[in-house]
Amino acid sequence: MGIEADHISICKFASITALGFEVIAEALHRYAHDAPKVIEQRWREEELTRQLKKARKLNTLLIKERTLARAIWWGVLCEVTPPETKVITMLMKLRNSRNISLPTAKLVLPSGETYH
């Protein structure tokens, strides 16, 4: 419910029995009484929103990492040409550093380097 008056009308009443005084007093009392609960609820909603955003970002990163891990795994099974060896080496190190659980395979690069 809105208060249909300007500042002067709201702040000046002839007495506590004047028309509209009780409506204004009750509205202000209700707002003041409900404010702590409303503020607490809004903080909870904001925190949940932040957590959801973080979870979405994390999920996106995990999906990208899993996709990369699959690409690494399937790349390991394919023939690797010399220009790709550095990329594969880098990706294999990334896989190992991230502790991604994939079936292990032996990768022998043209340079003779071996990865498990």
58-80 mean pLDDT: 69
Domain encompassing residue 93 = 7-12+19-115
Structurally, the chain folds into a number of domains equal to 1
Q: Say whether pLDDT at 93 is over 70.
A: no
Which whole number is the average pLDDT over 90-111?
A: 58
pLDDT of residue 57: 86
Determine, yes or no, domain membership for 109: yes
Answer whether residue 1 is part of any domain.
Answer: no
Q: Which residue has the higher pLDDT, 61 or 79?
A: 61
> Residue 89: pLDDT above 80?
no
DSSP assignments along 8-63, one per residue: HHHH--SSTTSTTHHHHHHHHHHHHHHHHHHHHHHHHHHHHHHHHHHHHHHHHHHH
